[in-house]
Amino acid sequence: MPDFPLRLEPRAEPSRLMSYLSPLIAVALTLLVGLLLFSALGKDPIEGFRYFFINPVRTLYGLSELLLKATPLMMCAIGLAIGFRANVWNIGAEGQFVLGAIGASGAALYFSGSDSAMLLPAMVVAGALAGAAWAAIPALLKTQFNANEILVSLMLVYVAQLLVSWLVFGPWRDPYGFGFPQTEMFHDAALLPILLDGTRLSFAFVIALAMLALGYVFMHRSYTGFKMRVAGEAAAAARYAGFSAKRMIWIGLLCGGGAAGIAGMAEVAGPMGQLTDKVSLGYGFAAIIVAFVGRLNPVGILFASLLMALLFLGGEQVQQYMNLPSSISMVFQGMLLFFLLGSDVFINYRLRIGCAASV
């Protein structure tokens, strides 16, 4: 082996410090490379930094928008984290999000005359059930035929997007909507109450926080959460203990799907106020990054979702004020995950300088 002055040496034990430090390093590297990217595009990097990270949160409205964007990310990520901890790889939260939006919209349209206080809870339930049902497809195929849940859940995202298009172009199109692919606007009883006057921040944020708390209790206190942790850490030990692997797959996917469905509900009953073919905004995919940056931990997910929301908002800002393409925020998301996975290597390895053999 040629001697290279840098080498990776396995650590005796995974570093706890590194597992917390790694997301911070990833953020720092993303910022650094982001600044270089701005320079390479011929923009002033300091200005870019200001538009991207400072401007969005300078005002109360800006902060409320940040929380608004973070809400669906939190919801999707906490559901995904439950599955990821048990090595159940649900990549299709985006599709489950869309199905949640469809389910909630269906309830809102069906009871369109009603002003019952039960309508919103019914929409939450409908959204959760629709999302979970969409996630049940990969669960069923995985448990019955050992079909790879990564592929199945991912492919169902595109099916979901086509499904919502068909609905808003076809049966659910608002007859008074000038032919736009959208449903009628929901009436007040089907809209989530606003938390802060003058902002768009809705009650969904409170639901998201509650879901994080619930996720924490489930993961760290419940027996089922314990079983899922065992299944994720050592499959043979889970089998030895008699924990059903199929049940873990079902729970992992249904939690992820249900949570994404609620996020979809919160989107149509919140900032959108109707179902359109643009409901799929990428929250479900971004939530995968959020879950990992947040170390599959509810508290981590809280902070990671705020960071990711900032990338969304910052992307819009630089688009508006610096004439950069909208894909810039995707680039930042990608860099964040890339650097996170890179820094995660140092949880189990340390970098050594010097040649391997001294003799």
Partner 1 sequence: MTIPNTDTPPDQAAQRGALLLELQGISKIYPGVVANDGVDLQIRPGEIHAVLGENGAGKSTLMKIIYGVTRQSEGRMLWQGDEIAIDNPAAARSLGIGMVFQHFSLFETLTVVENVALAMPGKPDLAALSQRIEEVSERYGLPVSPRRHVHALSVGERQRVEIIRCLLQEPKLLIMDEPTSVLTPQAVRKLFETLRQLASEGCAILYISHKLDEIRELCHTATVLRGGKVTGHCIPSKETPESMARLMIGKDLPICEHGTVARGGELRLRLAGLSHASPDPFGTDLKDLHLDVHAGEIVGIAGVSGNGQQELLLAISGEEPLAEKYPVQICGTEAGRMSAGQRRRLGMTFVPEDRLGRGAVPSLSLADNAILTAARTRGLVNRGFVNFGLASRFARKCIEQFNVKCNGEGAAAKSLSGGNLQKFIMGREILQNPKLLVCAQPTWGVDVGAAAFIRQSLIDLREKGCAILIISEELDELFEVCDRIAVIAKGRLSPVCPVADTTVERIGVWMSGMWADAEGEAEGTTTQETAHA
Residue ranges binding partner 1 (CB under 8 A): 1, 13-14, 221-224, 226, 229-230, 233-234, 236-237, 239-244, 356-359
Q: How far apart are CA 94 and CA 43, in angstroms?
A: 33
Least distance CB 241 / partner 1 (angstroms): 5
Q: Which is nearer to partner 1, 60 or 241 (CB)?
A: 241
Return phi, psi of residue 7, to 5°.
Answer: -150, 160
- Cβ-proximal residues to 166 (8 Å cutoff; 6+ apart), any chain: none
Least distance CB 218 / partner 1 (angstroms): 10
- Cβ-proximal residues to 240 (8 Å cutoff; 6+ apart), any chain: none
Count other C-beta atoms under 10 Å from residue 269's C-beta. Answer: 28
Q: Which is nearer to partner 1, 116 or 222 (CB)?
A: 222
Q: How far apart are CA 340 and CA 342, in angstroms?
A: 5
Least distance CB 223 / partner 1 (angstroms): 5
Tell me the two tokens of residue 106: 């269906």
Least distance CB 145 / partner 1 (angstroms): 16
Q: Which is nearer to partner 1, 206 or 235 (CB)?
A: 235
Least distance CB 323 / partner 1 (angstroms): 49
Q: Which is nearer to partner 1, 142 or 227 (CB)?
A: 227
Q: How far apart are CA 131 and CA 76, in angstroms?
A: 11
Q: Which is nearer to partner 1, 58 or 239 (CB)?
A: 239
Q: Which is nearer to partner 1, 169 or 349 (CB)?
A: 349
Least distance CB 82 / partner 1 (angstroms): 15
Count other C-beta atoms under 10 Å from residue 232's C-beta. Answer: 18
Count other C-beta atoms under 10 Å from residue 40's C-beta. Answer: 10
